[in-house]
Structure 1
């Protein structure tokens, strides 16, 4: 009995509240301050059992007045910029962008304004809505009234301005639109006012500056305009102030530096200016400090190195300086370490290999290498048995009889391949 009594009591309380304050039971939140007077009048906007109809919105909010007379339900201040941004918007779509019951302060639209939803006639005529936003500067006075030629509704700035769309007469006078951009430095003070001589409208920088157009300069030097670019290193401290002696205005680097112009140097050596370039390898440690003995200022490399100037070397071999250049091929493994036997310091290649230093290749000995050097990978080993009419056993017996044990080293005694020759042991 008691639970039934509690249930009946609850129903009575709910019925009383519904009768006294029905909006508190179904209201999802406060209306904006513009709609505050409709807090208890739900039917002013809502149709029972249906969504909010744009017809009810338009009964109060005339589309052509929004942005011109009112914004967010309130009257526009007198000096406000007017934009009839609902002009052409479909009248049955208010709730697609707008909502309420989110507090007294109006909130932003549910989604950004989409120009794509406007009729084509309005999209092609920005000024029909944005009359007060129409620019009045010198630039826009000279261009088309079709904003879409430079701007897009998705991103108004930066604009893709095409100078080809303005008249030729205007295009020649950049200053007519860009007066505030006119440079006032020394460089531009001496050149033509025709920007197109150096710049392009498609890409302003870098400019193709032509010094031939500097008629106003007369005989002025480079420093007249480029004082801040004047180098202060040791090299330039000793040369003429006439930049044209080494540089060209068409291409500043590389410079065609002529050491003949160094009149102020007198007898100074290369190191006076090129100390940081001084090499510290083994080769240069043993030569004169006079660079001109090997190098030329007109072309530093290759150097005409003269080994006769190596007075400090004394009896040192080539390897003393050229150890890293020592060849490790098969040929050089079998010859003397004295490079001068085959090479010349005046011209290293081709080498003049002289076999006669080891064995004379005259008369019957003019044969192929393989005839004597039967071991392909060892030129120090040789044999005479392939040609001479004597066997190894016979030669061994005869030479041992004479007390010669090293009978395989024929060249030790027979330097010319003749039987009557005597060797070092005779």
Structure 2
């Protein structure tokens, strides 16, 4: 009789334990997720996920399709996930370029897909020779690819070019630091000092297209006040002397030519 009572107690305890385990198994592992198990899992395997993410507010594309659910959904109830890129991707630009990674990157790959198009929307669109530059040619001091806004002043990149320029020697002749006064974006050479016509016409009149560089007339690279007309006008000295025998102060191969011939024409 005592043996049967002991067996009865064990049977009761076993029944309670089975009921408890069965209750646990029936608890929804995703807490408040209101979906049927079959919408994500299959009888072939509990870890085979068939949930169609394309029907959500965040369809997956590119490399996002290769990401495991738990990489983005850190809790099992799959509550709404913040869609900002920086929630999953480390912002190496440290906020300097905003939070919209898609301006430069795509889901297909993390590499910049069209840096040129992005740069055209900044305060310094890239034109001419600037289009061919690598980002680091200008953004040389960036830490962790911050790519902060840089000054668009010419001398910030070309000051060394300015200081080393010869024929003419920019530093000695008092040239300003605005390179665009003489240079264009498409090529560093040839330079074009359009203001020259105010002193002597070389872009108009008979001299237009007859010279190739400043040194054609300016024979001293450090002093452009010194020039010679005879590098182009090869006058016979005897003939020139005879034509100027009545001109006071005349000297052959002299800058005084300019005083009488301000436009370079013989009839001036």
TM-score normalised per structure 2: 0.34
Q: Which has the larger radius of gyration?
A: 1
With a CA cutoff of 8 Å and minimum separation of 6, indicate the structure with the bigger relative contact order: 2
Is the helix fraction higher in 1 or 2?
1
